Structure formats: C-alpha cells, structure tokens
Amino acid sequence: MIEALKHILLVEDDPKDIELTLTALEEYNLANEIVVARDGVEALDYLYRQGKFEKRPIGYPVVILLDLKMPRLDGVQVLQQIKADEQLRLIPIVVLTSSRESRDLEECYRLGANAYVVKPVRFTEFIEAIRQIGGFWVLVNEPPQIG
C-alpha cells in the first residue's frame, strides 16, 4: 500500500468555496495536497477508508478544514464523531465557516476543535486566512503520528 503524502482534508459542500479555497492554496503551492470531501458522510468515508475512498492510500491528513453547514452529516456532527474516535481525535481540525454565531463557536471548541476561522467576505482577506492556515498546519505544525 502506498502511504498518502502530507495532505489536507477539506470538507466543504459549496463548489465555489472549494474553488476559492483551492485558488488560495495554489498561491502556496499546496493545492495538490488537498483532498475534498463534499459533506460529512464523505469526510468520514475518507477517514475510515470506506465507500468511494475504500481504496485510498493509507494515512491521515495533517489537518482537516471543516465547514459547518453541509447536507447529510453537518460539520458539528462530523467533529463530534472524529473527536469520539480514539485515533481520529488526534487529527487537528480547523473549523472554517461563514458563521460568526457564538453558539457555533462555543460548541465547536467544546467538542474539541483546534481552531475556528470565520471566512472573511473580502477575498483578499479570505486568501490571507487560507494561506496562513495552510502555511501553519502544513508547513509549520508537526502533525501527530497516528496508527
């Protein structure tokens, strides 16, 4: 089996947001190391190597960028499941959302989110936020050894 390279799992249902995020990461040449899950179910399928990700290479992302509002399983539920799993809970999770609502923020931190970033409306600020996230979690931060 091939082990996956250092990569980011982006859990996001909106293609436009996916495109903007990838565009932002391109500037850091990190776009190639992005795996996209289109909702919570896909995200868990990916992490557990099941469903359409059954055959993916072994290994875990160095960080999960998690949107909150998604069809089927939403971000909070995904967060809950990941943090309830002995192994998966070690993966850093950055909540990346449009919501500035304090109850979202509080709940995510309570469930164990490692960071909470509100997507800025202005693209220049958005790009800056994504670059910082990517730069920090992929290049600066030392990920845990899992499995």
Residues 5-44: x where in contact with another protein by CB under 8 A, - otherwise, as a string: ---------x-xx--x--x---------------------
Instruction: Give how many residues touch another protein by CB under 8 A.
Output: 20
CB of 17 to another protein, least distance (A): 7
- Of 102 and 145, the one with the shorter C-beta distance to another protein is 102
Bridge partners of 34, per DSSP, are: 8
CB of 145 to another protein, least distance (A): 35
101 near another protein (CB under 8 A): yes
Q: Are 44 and 73 in contact (CB under 8 A)?
A: yes
Q: Are 63 and 137 in contact (CB under 8 A)?
A: yes
Spell 53-92 as b/e; 16+ CB within 10 A means b.
beebeebbbbbbbbbbebeebbbbbbbbbbbeeeebeebb
97 near another protein (CB under 8 A): yes
Strand ranges (DSSP E) for the chain?
8-11, 34-37, 63-66, 93-97, 115-118
- Of 99 and 114, the one with the shorter C-beta distance to another protein is 99
- Of 80 and 99, the one with the shorter C-beta distance to another protein is 99
Q: Kindly calculate the radius of gyration of the chain based on its CA atoms and give it in whole angstroms.
A: 14
By the criterion CB under 8 A, which residues form the site for another protein?
14, 16-17, 20, 23, 68-69, 97-102, 119-124, 126
